[in-house]
Every structure is written in structure tokens, then in C-alpha cells.
Amino acid sequence: MRTGLAAIAMLIAAAICRADAPRIIFDTDMCSDIDDIAALGMLHALADNGECIPLGMMLSSGNDDGIAAISAMNHYHNRPDLPIGSFKGAGKSSPNYYGAIPDRFPCAVRTRDDVPDAVSVYRRILASQPDASVTIVTVGYLHNIRDLLQSGADQHSDLSGVQLVAAKVKEWSCMGGSFWDANNWSFEWNLCEDGAASKYAIDHFPSAIVFSGYEIGDPVKTGVGYGDRTPAENPARAVYDPNYPDWPRQEGHCSFDQTAVLHAARGIRNYWDANTTGYCEVNDAGYVFWHDSPDKEHGYLIRKMDNNELAGIINELMFQQPFEGESDPVPVVRYGGPNDGSRRDAALVSPARVFDLRGRALGGVPTVRGDKQALGFGVYVADAFSGNAKAARELVLR
């Protein structure tokens, strides 16, 4: 027994564990393009894999159907109770690719009137999180970020908006800007829709910002196969298929928003390089200009991985099926290499049984025998003979 437990201890000690899995707030316009809903599906898939913890969703446009789309995706991915907030101003509401969602899919909320103001939801979520633990992902307009930074103390926190963000937010992954020619003024839709809001948000944000610019997602074409690889119950399929009905002759759709989500959950990896020297200036029209000095906590992604290879990684997450039952957003201990989302053979030592957070056996072990006890961040150990998982857990965690 002690020999087996010692082997488990060595195995777990050698694992790479993401105890700091990003806690993500997803802020989307869910209006003028179809990649928003695919990015949200990716976020749920990454959470299913134990790679991130979704905390809530915000709408930054004036599109009521965007609220229904967020709710429908949360329902489809078995997270119907995630908080949703919305910008309450007169935001952009067309073109709208999400009009079919409310009447075709289960959704707990359908319009902006059905959810609280985004700032209140932001403040409630941030106040409840550990310091420097939250990643904000924006794949739309920056009204909500501006309004959050301008907010004052409320029932959720005595801190101002800037103070609260400085305390709780580790990083902002922003799908915005264009850095093809970084040292010239460049246009990109998300930031230019409300240039003044974008300028204020970026100028006053007190934590790190990493931009996934237009040039990062534009050549990465994804989405071909939604109709074949996902069920009709997937709201994202209902958005992609009608807008691209002849997929065999289509190369796919740009992955602007998906790259920001992938970066937020997995970091740079071998997907991109990054320039982190200097800072991004935004003018009143929302155009961006990269200055090489002074150095601030700004950076932008630079293309590295082959576009088709990156598209394959994104497609796998977009098409990944929700697992049945209660979602458990606890990170998984990984084995044998970088935390790239794969489940590697664990070279398990009998009689140990190691399971991921879905209760699935790693290393091809098909059954659960004995007690099952949460170990660390999402791995279960059960001793097949004694059932003394608690002892195994205590040994490993010493």
C-alpha cells in the first residue's frame, strides 16, 4: 500500500498543475459578427477541460438578441446560472446575426431588460474573487470597461472602479486594434465603434493588457463543419450555418474573438510571439498607435504558428461537445508535458486509479473502484484495494 501511494506521490509531484487557472469574465458585443458565439463556446469547452473558470458574461452592444444568445449558450453548455450583465446605453444593435436564437433555444433571459447593469455584475464578481486572479476578455466594444473604471463604491465594494480592477484583475485580453504596421495609426472595428470609450478604457486600465489584433484572427479560418460535428441543439451552429450555407466551397470564417479567448486561457504557448515593450495609444476615434517607449503593461500578439494548425486547435474547441451533468470548473492536473489541453498517459501504478474532473479515468483505466476523493485541483485518486483515497490524498498533498 505504501509503495503504491509513494508512486502516486511521485507521479503527482512531477505533474504540471494549473492551480492558477484563469478566472474569466467574458465581455462581448454578440451582434455584428458570428465569431462571438463561437468564442463563447470555446470558453465553455476550455472550462470543461479544466483550463479556466468562467465567472460571468457581459454584453457591450444594444442588441437584445445578444443576451438570449449568451443565455442559450450557457444553457447548452450546462452552466445556465452564470451571471449575465449588459450595457444599458444606446449601443449598436445591427447587423444582428442572432435574431433566430430566442425562439429556437432554451434561454433563461431574452433581452437587456432581463439582466442587471454590467457594471454592477462586474463589481459583484470582482469583489468576490481573490486578488490578482481575474482575466477579463473583451471581444466587442469597450463601453462596459470604461463604465467599470468610472464607477464608485457600492454595496459590493468600497473601492472605486480603478482600485477594484487593480486589486482583482491580473490581465485583460482584448480583441481590438490592428498592429500590422504598429507604428502607424490603424483602424479596427471594436475600438473604433466608440473611440472615446476605447481611449478611456485603455488609458485608465491599471492592470496588464494584451491585444489580439485584427491581423491575428483574420487569416485563421474556422467553423467549417459545424453542421456535421455538432448537434442541432448547439446555438452556435444555428448562427454559423445560415450565414455560410455552402460550407464545402467556403474556407471558413475569421477567428478574431476565438484568439483572444485562447490566449486568455492558455497564454502565448507556441501559438504566438508578443511585443511587450512600449504601449498602445488610442485616439478619440479609436485608432491605435504603438509607441516603443515608455514601457507600460501593454502587449500585442504576433503571428507564429501556421494559420491552418492554429485553426485546427480552435476548431476542436469550437466543436467540442458539452459533457453531461454538473459542470465543475476546477483545473485538472496534467501529465508529461505542457498544459496544452491534452490528457497524456499517466503511467499509472496499480492499484491506483486517477480520474479527471469529469470522473473519467486517465491512462485508459476504465473503472472506479473504492472511494473517490478530490485530489488537488481536479484529479481523483482511488485505491482499488483498500478504498483509502483520503490517505492517498493526504500523502500526495504533503
**Is 325 within the bounds of a domain?**
no
How much is the average pLDDT of 236-249? 70
CB atoms within 10 A of CB 13: 9
Q: Phi and psi for 86 in degrees, rounded to 5? A: -145, 145
**Is 314 within the bounds of a domain?**
yes
pLDDT of amino acid 246: 56
40 and 169 belong to one structural domain: yes
| Counted domains in the chain | 2
**Which amino acid makes up residue 143?**
H
90 and 206 belong to one structural domain: yes
**Is 180 within the bounds of a domain?**
yes
Helix (H, G, I), strand (E, B) or coil at 195: helix
Range in 40-49, 314-323, 325-334, 341-350 with the lowest mean pLDDT: 341-350
Q: Which H/E stretch holds residue 302? A: strand 298-303
Domain with 111 in it: what CATH number? 3.90.245.10
β-strand pairing of 333-334 with 298-303: unpaired
d(C-alpha 233, C-alpha 214), whole Å = 31
286, 319, 352 - which closes a domain:
319
**Is 326 within the bounds of a domain?**
no
75 and 192 belong to one structural domain: yes
CB atoms within 10 A of CB 286: 24
**Is 324 within the bounds of a domain?**
no
pLDDT of amino acid 200: 98
Alpha helices in the chain (DSSP H): 2-14, 35-48, 64-76, 101-104, 118-127, 143-149, 161-168, 189-192, 195-204, 214-217, 226-229, 235-243, 256-266, 307-319, 389-396
319, 347, 363 - which closes a domain:
319
**Is 38 within the bounds of a domain?**
yes
281 and 369 belong to one structural domain: no
223 and 266 belong to one structural domain: yes
35 and 145 belong to one structural domain: yes
d(C-alpha 265, C-alpha 164), whole Å = 22
How much is the average pLDDT of 46-72? 96
Range in 139-143, 241-245, 279-283 with the lowest mean pLDDT: 241-245
Residues 6+ away with beta carbon under 8 Å from 56: 25, 26, 82, 83, 84, 85, 121, 122, 125
311 and 350 belong to one structural domain: no
d(C-alpha 227, C-alpha 293), whole Å = 48
319, 353, 380 - which closes a domain:
319
State pLDDT tens for residues 170-200: 999 999 999 988 788 999 999 999 999 999 9
The DSSP code sequence of 335-360 is -SS--SS------PPTTEEEE-TTSP
256 and 349 belong to one structural domain: no
311 and 358 belong to one structural domain: no
Residues 6+ away with beta carbon under 8 Å from 290: 179, 182, 183, 275, 278, 279, 280, 281, 300
300 and 376 belong to one structural domain: no
**Is 357 within the bounds of a domain?**
yes
198 and 238 belong to one structural domain: yes
State pLDDT tens for residues 126-140: 999 999 999 999 999
Domain hosting residue 149, numbered range: 20-319
293 and 374 belong to one structural domain: no
DSSP symbol at 225: T
Alpha helices in 81-149 (DSSP H): 101-104, 118-127, 143-149
- Residue 387 reports pLDDT greater than 50: no
